[in-house]
Amino acid sequence: MIDLYTFTTPNGRKPAILLEELEMPYTIHSVNIGKGEQFAPEFVTISPNSKIPAIVDRDTDLAIFESGAILIYLAEKAGKLLPTETGERIKAIEWLMFQMASVGPMFGQFGHFRNFAPEKLPYAINRYEKETLRLLGVMEGQLAKTPFLAGDYSIADIATYPWVAAAQSPYMELSFDEFPHVQRWVEAIAARPAVKAGMDVLQPTFESQVGTVA
């Protein structure tokens, strides 16, 4: 059994999607970052950086923080969605790191300065919008050659999808007219039942055969 500590953010949805894809039973614990619950001492013992998501594997009593590490651990535990052949495996990890190092931070900064900064700073908004569009262009080039980021559907796609979905939402309101292969990829992933369940985590619409809310 996996205890998932999470909230309704792109990073928070990643492990929920993967747990749904793996059909791995899990219990959801809400950590409301809007209320500062990520700084509670009991959560910091699980996630020293006070960030969601985090998990505790009750089978091994192993606590894991950082979403990329969580995805790798769960995929390896189940033996699915992360290739074992060296070349294919490193390709999936490359694109996972692309999300962790670039897509998440840059999309997140664009969303922050566009929506939440106390002062509208055109330089910051323009800088991060330009970089977000550049990263979508990198994805477009890759997805013109492969159906998914690393060839087959993998944790790289699961990590990246919630951020790209956010880019199309009112949160960022970006047009994908120049990125038809990204749009095709978005639609293919959104159609997966496990993705819908994971994206709905902690929402009234959440329905799952393997996940329960604590």
The 10s digit of each residue's pLDDT in 88-139 is 999 999 999 999 999 999 999 999 999 999 999 999 999 999 999 999 999 9
Separation between Cα atoms, residue 180 and residue 4, nearest integer Å: 34
Name the percent of the chain lying above pLDDT 90.
Answer: 99
93 and 183 fall within a common domain:
yes
94 and 70 within one domain:
no
- 49 near 38, Cβ under 8 Å? no
pLDDT at 56: 98
pLDDT of residue 86 exceeding 90, the answer is yes
Q: Which residue has the tokens 């791995």?
A: 24
Q: Do 67 and 137 sit in the same domain of this protein?
A: no
pLDDT tens-digit profile of 155-192?
999 999 999 999 999 989 999 999 999 999 999 999 99
Is 166 in the same domain as 207?
no
Q: Are residues 98 and 186 in the same domain?
A: yes
**C-alpha angle with apex 184: 183 to 185, nearest 5 degrees?**
90
- CB-based contacts of 19: which residues, under 8 Å, 6+ apart? 2, 4, 26, 74, 198, 210, 211
211 C-beta neighbours (distance < 10 Å), count: 21
Regarding pTM above 0.75, the answer is yes
Domain span holding position 170: 86-192
Strands 211-213 and 2-6: unpaired
Instruction: Report pLDDT for 130.
Output: 98
Asked if 187 and 111 sit in the same domain, the reply is: yes
Residue 49 tokens read as 């950086």
Domain identity same for 55 and 90: no
Question: Do residue 9 and residue 71 come from a single domain?
Answer: yes
Q: Note whether 45 and 137 are same-domain residues.
A: no
Pair (177, 202) in one structural domain: no
**Do 56 and 97 have their domain in common?**
no
Overall number of domains in the chain:
2
